[in-house]
Amino acid sequence: MGISTFDDWMVSYLSQLNQAQCDAVINTEGPSLIIAGAGSGKTRVLTYRIAHLIEKGIDPFQILALTFTNKAAREMRGRIEKVVGTEARNLWMGTFHSVFARILRIESEKIGYPRNFTIYDADDTKSLLKSIIKEMGLNDKVYKPNMVYGRISNAKNNLISAESYFQRDDLISADAESAKPKIVEIYKTYADRCFKSSAMDFDDLLLKTHFLFKNHLDVLNKYQHRFLYTLVDEYQDTNHCQYMIVKKLAAVNENISVVGDDAQSIYSFRGATIQNILNFKNDYPDAKTFKLEQNYRSTKIIVDAANSIIKKNKNQLDKTVFTNNADGEKIQLIRAVTDNEEGRFIAQSIFEEKMQNQLPNRHFAILYRTNAQSRSVEEALRRMNIAYKIYGGLSFYQRKEIKDLIAYLRLVINPNDEEAIKRIINYPSRGIGKTTLDKLIVLANQKDQSISDIITQAQNFHQLKSPFKKLKDFHTMMETFRIMAHEKDAYDTAYYVAKSTGLLKNLREDKTIEGVSRFENIEELLNGIKEFVEDDTSEKEKTLANYLQEIALLTTLDQADENEDHVTLMTIHMSKGLEFPYVYLSGLEENLFPSALSIDSREELEEERRLFYVAVTRAMKKLTFSFATSRFKYGNLLPTEPSRFINDIEPKYYNMDRKTLEQKPLPIGKNKSYGRSTGFAKKNPRQTPAYAIKTNRPPSIQNFVPENMENIQKNSKIQHERFGVGEVLEITGEGNNKKVQINFEEFGEKTLVLRFAKLRYFKHD
């Protein structure tokens, strides 16, 4: 570290903090609530607080730090390691799910699971539920797997096991009233099948940890005394189950520090409850409160606009976020006639910002309320050859070929994994068809055993006489893989499995574009396993089991390649915790944002407003809103109106007179033009317009003719297809980089790259 004493070290890093951050770092004893406003240096405070504990002499093994993404945990661990060295690797730090999975593997015998249990992702869960619904002879249009999954997940997050569900008359009555009385039986069957398959889903990692501590007080006591200090990031996003586990763990020492921002509580649909952070002082009356209110991320305009939004909410903790950053640009507003036009305006705006300021694509983000809104923006970006990437779509680990190989690897580690067996028992084809698989499932259910158990006893069942040799060969192959997994590292095992099963050969023979892509994806997966094996910064054994747990707990953002240069498209929910210099928030319309499903109660509307606040506070330099006066819904172009949230922001933060929002939309189908801006910016012709609308009024366009723009002169009168008529004020640069500064009559001053501007000269008669 290069610093001789602890006191010197403290002075060196505390000098990098403001007073509020410093107080939150050094006051480590007892319960504390750190209210961290957007962009206030929360990660730095958490990092230094943990580093401070270690430098005080606390053993890292006695510090528990819980986050919501692996990315956040890696970032913090890396920063701590720079301060205190490799001791940081001994921290119990990670997501709730990864830390609790670690505890469950250690204590697996207490709950009747093997240490090598499988973690089912959402696709595995839905696949199993779909099978159960079919086996029970239920209508999958009534018992939709997604819906059933949601009901079961909600029950688990509220500490309701399959057994206790049967005792809940209120839940059973609600299911009956909604014409879904079999939910309780599906839940019980699902829980039994997971147990038989030695598998847990994500919610089980929380629920079973809760019951482990509740039913085994010796285990609870062990971890209560192991973790002298507990830190929880994003506390406003915790659900009831997470809250109860953390409360139990901290009950002995009460050295619990929670960090969060109630203004960014936006995950109630996942079971998160804002009351956890609002009631922290009730749980710990002696808790100290630290407020991180200085924003280092955004301009003053953006910070003050965000404050004017959130003050409309009644249910919140008191704080006032401020910044010493520059004022910055006022908020721009794009008003379009249709959602397709909205996409074009956003793409055009990004293109102009990129050209004028020589910016990379990664500086831009387009946020929306629902994934469906990305279509019009995607089309517009493609037309302008602007690279983009959507987050929240199909992730790398959800692709079929990747899930196929991972299913093999899961089965190597856990022979009872039902979903893995069903996926690959006949891929590549080995003559074990659907009929045989159905027989295996029926026998497994009848005997209350796993499918793998039935395969090992295939000679005992007359139903399996015909496919017996094929089943035996499959079993022998898997046993060979398991032996190898004990002797080799994760990469050698995975490569051998991919080759020996014929999976690599099968994909290599497909020479279509899609086939080549699938083969490259498998190669990339194997490369990832190789990197895992060669990673010297991790203390984990390079076993296949550890690799599978690591990828099972990945989130979509954890897989993002930050080195790629692309515009980011994502829902606002996914954007929390991120920041971008330029942010476009699209679809600011009533019944879209706020959602039509969230306007019937104050609680729901306030969460939508917090979501709006989160979107605004992602922006660092410039913020642009957009809305359309009509949007395609269910195949029809329907009129819309601007979101009420636009009016939550005080008028002084907009680069416009908000009365323009009251313009009535054009009659749909009556006028194919783009609409005309009215009553705008005449008082200050140099003011940049607040919203980008094409005008009907290119005056005497026949008087403007194409000319050689290389010879453009200062004071020339020109016409632009979008901004209309203007006068050249300045010409700078040479060749392809030549730029012209133009004062447009309606749109004020613009600086354009000449070769892209498509200008026309005014021809004098």
pLDDT at 484 over 90: yes
CA distance readout (Å), 576 to 59, 72, 573: 32, 12, 6
Query: 659 catalytic, yes or no?
Result: no
Q: Which two tokens stand for residue 318?
A: 């008191």
pLDDT at 452: 93
pLDDT of residue 721: 64
Average pLDDT score over residue span 507-521: 80
Q: How many CB atoms lie within 10 A of CB 728?
A: 17
Sign of the CA dihedral with 223 first, then 193, 466, and 426 last: negative
The active-site residue out of 180, 609, 618, 622 is 618
Instruction: Find all residues with CB under 8 Å of 57, minimum gap 6, and list them.
Output: none
Q: Of 16, 615, 45, which Cα lies nearest the Cα of 298?
A: 615
Tens digits of residue pLDDT in 57-97: 999 999 999 998 888 888 888 888 888 888 888 899 999 99
Kindly tell me if the per-residue pLDDT of 396 is higher than 80: no
Active site residue 561: no
Q: Which of 28, 43, 275, 559 is catalytic?
A: 43
Cβ atoms of residues 292 and 603 within 8 Å: no
Q: Is 234 a catalytic residue?
A: yes
* Statement: residue 421 has pLDDT above 90: yes
Is 264 considered catalytic here?
yes
Rounded mean pLDDT, 43-65: 92
- pLDDT tens-digit profile of 179-228? 999 999 999 999 999 999 999 999 999 999 999 999 999 999 999 999 99
Q: Are 347 and 381 in contact (CB under 8 A)?
A: yes
Residue 703 has pLDDT above 50, yes or no: no
CA end-to-end span of the chain, whole Å? 77
Torsion (CA) 456, 457, 463, 469 in degrees, nearest 10: 50
Residue 179: how many other CB atoms lie within 10 Å:
8
Tens-digit pLDDT profile for residues 649-696: 988 999 865 455 554 433 333 333 333 332 223 333 333 333 333 333
Residue 88, pLDDT score: 86
> Of the listed 21, 125, 242, 264, which one is catalytic?
264
Predicted pLDDT of residue 382: 86
How far is the CA of 336 from the CAs of 240, 333, 661, 664, in angstroms?
43, 10, 11, 12
pLDDT at position 87: 85
* pLDDT, tens digit (0-9, with 9 covering 90-100), for 433-468: 999 999 999 999 999 999 999 999 999 999 898 899
- Asked about 501 being catalytic, the answer comes back as no
pLDDT more than 70, % of the chain: 86
Is 539 one of the annotated active-site residues of the chain?
no
Tokens linked to 666:
């054009």
**Entry pTM:** 0.76
Q: How confident is the model at residue 133 (pLDDT cuts 50, 70, 90)?
A: very high
Residue 7 CA to residue 1 CA, distance in Å, equals 13
Q: How far is CA 243 from CA 208, 237, 384, in A?
A: 14, 10, 48
DSSP 747: T
Closest CA to 149 of 132, 166, 136, 173: 132
Least confident of 340-354, 410-424, 652-666: 652-666
For 62, 221, 414, 545, 661, the CA distances from 216, given in Å and listed in that order, are 21, 9, 26, 26, 61
Is the four-CA dihedral 208, 214, 216, 217 of positive or negative sign? positive
All residues at 6 or more sequence positions from 565 whose CB lies less than 8 Å from its CB, including other chains: 360, 361, 362, 387
Residue 733 or residue 582, greater confidence:
582
Q: What is the DSSP string of 650-685?
A: -GGGBSS-GGGGGPPPPPTTT--S-----S-S-S-T
pLDDT in tens, 324-342: 999 999 999 999 988 888 9
Q: Catalytic residue among 201, 233, 237, 589, which? A: 233
* Given the residues 234, 418, 589, 607, the one annotated as active site: 234
- pLDDT confidence bin for 12, thresholds 50/70/90: low
Percent of the chain at pLDDT > 90 equals 58
Whether 109 has a pLDDT exceeding 70, the answer reads yes
Query: Where are the alpha helices (H) located in 323-365, listed in sequence order?
Result: 339-357
Q: Are 205 and 118 spatial neighbours (Cβ–Cβ below 8 Å)?
A: no
> Average pLDDT of 630-642?
77
Summarize the confidence of residues 619-645 as an average pLDDT.
Answer: 86
Question: What is the average per-residue pLDDT within 251-280?
Answer: 91
* Closest C-alpha among 555, 578, 581 to residue 362: 581
Quick one: pLDDT at residue 632? 72
Average pLDDT, the chain: 85
What's the pLDDT at 2? 41
